[in-house]
Structure 1
Amino acid sequence: MGQTNASVQQVSEVVAGVDGKVSAISSWKTETNASGKKVATGIIQGSDGTVGEILLSADRVAIINGLNGPEASLFVFQDGQLFLNSALINQAFIQSLVVGMTLRSQAVNAQGLPLIEINLASGSFTVRGQDANGSTLLNNGGLYVYDANGIERTAVGRLT
């Protein structure tokens, strides 16, 4: 059996220099070593008078909530990936997006159907538009135009 040990270190430091520079830092580090495998975590918070930051170092970082029942992960960051159960993002600039199943618009038509729906697993898509004069439907079967009463007036594509 290899050597085992564990440690916890806490450091707090405040500096106020005669040159007017200030900084405050507090850090907490845990470390274990079991049979040659070293695992460490760290939390550092600090401010240097221009920026305040909190840094986390770990194999996995999670925010959990266990106050109202079973423990639930609000988010987990592990192996370079961020896992969220739900997210509300006001604006996003995404370089690459991989979607597993269905992408739908939040906006719906008068029948409650999403205006845009793309099923990536099946390769099907639907785009719906509607105004007082009727509606338009474009999907992988064709293009369909309906009047205000819902009667099909034009169909282009597979007519089955």
Structure 2
Amino acid sequence: LQAKYDMKKGEASATWTSLVKIHYDGVDYDAGMVIGAELKNGKVSTQIGFSAQTFIIYNPVNGEKVPMFSIQNGQTFINDALISKATIESVVVGMEIRSKNYIPGRSGFYWNMQNGQMENIGSDKQGKMKQTNTTISIADNQGRLRVQIGKITGVF
């Protein structure tokens, strides 16, 4: 534990560090944690920092170490997430995007990133829309095809 105080300036800081290190082939490798608090210019800030090539949080389900969250080589991996609100500047989606209520042909929103097909069925049950790379199809609330643009197939 390190602590510094300067009563004249009204500043203080305290840090606790835990570190393990090996020296191999002329290079230091370390993993550690630091916890700190600082008072400066009348404002308090706190920090917790980690230094490691891989950082993992485990869930000890059934006595096993099941990774819930990890950071490896600059990438973050989360096995399951519930995010209430997010601002995302760029997204790369591998397979699909779907709403929680998606049931094929019946409800919700679905977008297949591999074949480009999109299905959008409103929650008001007044109709549905499907789009592929060649066709836009609109059906009424009974599922009857009403409009088709592009490649005419005659089916929804």
> TM-score normalised to the size of structure 2?
0.80
- Work out the number of aligned pairs and report it: 145
1:104 aligns with 2:98: yes
- Residue ranges of structure 2 left out of the alignment (5+ in a row): none
Please, which of 73, 78, 87 is the counterpart of residue 84 of structure 1? 78
| Structure 1 residue 76: Cα displacement | 0.6
- Runs (4+) of structure 1 moved beyond 4 Å? 111-114
| Structure 1 residue 139: Cα displacement | 2.0
Contact 2:130 2:136 in 1 (8 A): yes
Give % identity.
25
Question: Structure 2 counterpart of 1:95, which letter?
Answer: E
Match in the other structure for 1:5: none
| Distance in 1 separating the partners of 2:106 and 2:71 | 35
Match in the other structure for 1:21: 11
- Residue ranges of structure 1 left out of the alignment (5+ in a row): 1-11
Q: For the aligned residues, what is the CA RMSD? A: 2.3
| Distance in 2 separating the partners of 1:76 and 1:52 | 23
Match in the other structure for 2:131: 139
| Distance in 2 separating the partners of 1:114 and 1:58 | 45
Is the partner of 2:63 in helix, strand or coil? coil
Contact 2:57 2:68 in 1 (8 A): yes
Is the partner of 1:33 in helix, strand or coil? strand
Match in the other structure for 1:128: 121
| Distance in 2 separating the partners of 1:126 and 1:112 | 8
| Distance in 1 separating the partners of 2:62 and 2:143 | 52
> TM-score normalised to the size of structure 1?
0.78
1:70 aligns with 2:70: no
Question: Structure 2 counterpart of 1:91, which letter?
Answer: K
| Distance in 1 separating the partners of 2:60 and 2:66 | 6
